[in-house]
Structure 1
Amino acid sequence: MTDFDRLTDSFQNLSQKNMTFDQVYNRIVNYMKQDVTGNYRLIFGTDSQVHTDYTLFITGIVIQRERKGAWACIRKVKVPRKMMNLHERISYETTLTEEVVSMFTEDRKKELIDIVLPHIYKGASFTVEGHIDIGSGRRNKTRVFVNEMVARMESLGLEPKIKPDAFVASSYANRYTK
């Protein structure tokens, strides 16, 4: 086994544990079909926390129906060492986000788009965002990585968001890293 030992390869939220990716995807489809005229944002983001003898990474997947709620889940990955190098940790957070995004094949993305497409003239919309737990502020240590990580999100066709707009990484995923 490599240095990157998986804690779990399944997804979970407060009401369900050990979901497969197919179950997560079907939850998203069903959530969107509840209101086909909604404004949807499919958002991905990862945060990490260094613990005594490991580093815990949490990737969040959120389907948000703007001003009408959301459905979300997380995926945990545990690296069995303290990852103290900030660039390595930020880069691995981005890699884990990319990994989950890659599960959404072109066919799956098309299926999600097709839910709202007939209703765009009624105001329906669908966007996909990658939230990165970095900031561009002068005093932020992660600002030197902004261009690199934003480019990685854009290369996947995601709309990148950094702090303070990266709430899936900096708030939702963050609460499960402790």
Structure 2
Amino acid sequence: MAEKSWADRTFQNLQENSMTFDVVFQRIISFMARNPRGNYRLMIGTDSQVHPQHTTFITGIVIQNKGKGAWACIRKTIVPRKMLALHEKISYETTLTEEVVSLFTEDRKNTMIDIVLPFIYNGATFSMEGHIDIGSGSRNRTSEFVNEMVARIESTGIEPKIKPDSFVASSYANKYTK
């Protein structure tokens, strides 16, 4: 069986399996349309776990309406080997996040912005964030990669977040890597 291209991989959550990205995007639009006056953060991040025969990568997408709930899903990627080099693993996590971010085309971003736009003077907001599972603390083994990975996320046009603010990668995606 041929390996699926990354754009063909499906997403899932506790309610639904095998969602295409088009379905995911419609779920996000529906969630936002329920309360167009909301404060929305679209957050995308990836975490990984090395297992004996493979490495599991989970990319999470979370649309949060601050103080009023969220909708989320994940996409799983399996690399059929133990990926032990830290830079390779962190770099691949960032690549998978970048790939999902790229699915949010300008037209799709504008569709999301158009939902809140009539209400921005009433406090409605929309932002996009790329969550990277790295920290800048001196005791953090990933700190030497912070500048590189932050620059990569910035180049996609969204706001990078690192620990402790990168909870989509370090908490939500992490729990599905086990």
TM-score band, normalised by shorter chain: over 0.9
Identity of aligned residues (%): 69
Flag the 1:101–1:5 CA change in 2: closer, same or farther, 3 A. closer
Flag the 1:131–1:11 CA change in 2: closer, same or farther, 3 A. same
Q: Distance in 2 between matches of 1:107 and 1:59?
A: 22
Q: Distance in 2 between matches of 1:80 and 1:4?
A: 14
**Matched residue SS, 1:151:** helix
| Unaligned ranges ≥5, structure 1 | none
Counterpart residue number, 2:164: 164
1:5 deviation in Å? Answer: 8.9
Flag the 1:84–1:9 CA change in 2: closer, same or farther, 3 A. same
Q: Distance in 1 between matches of 2:114 and 2:15?
A: 28
The 5 Å alignment of 1:29-68 reads: 29-68=29-68
With the length of structure 1 as denominator, give the TM-score of the two structures: 0.96
The 5 Å alignment of 1:142-161 reads: 142-161=142-161
Aligned partner of 2:46: which letter? T
Runs of 4+ in 1 over 2 A off after TM superposition: 1-6
Q: Distance in 2 between matches of 1:80 and 1:124?
A: 44
Counterpart residue number, 2:84: 84
**Matched residue SS, 1:93:** helix
Flag the 1:43–1:161 CA change in 2: closer, same or farther, 3 A. same
The 5 Å alignment of 1:16-27 reads: 16-27=16-27
How many pairs align? Answer: 177
Instruction: Report if aligned partners of 1:5, 1:77 keep a CA contact under 8 Å in 2.
Output: no
**Matched residue SS, 1:141:** coil
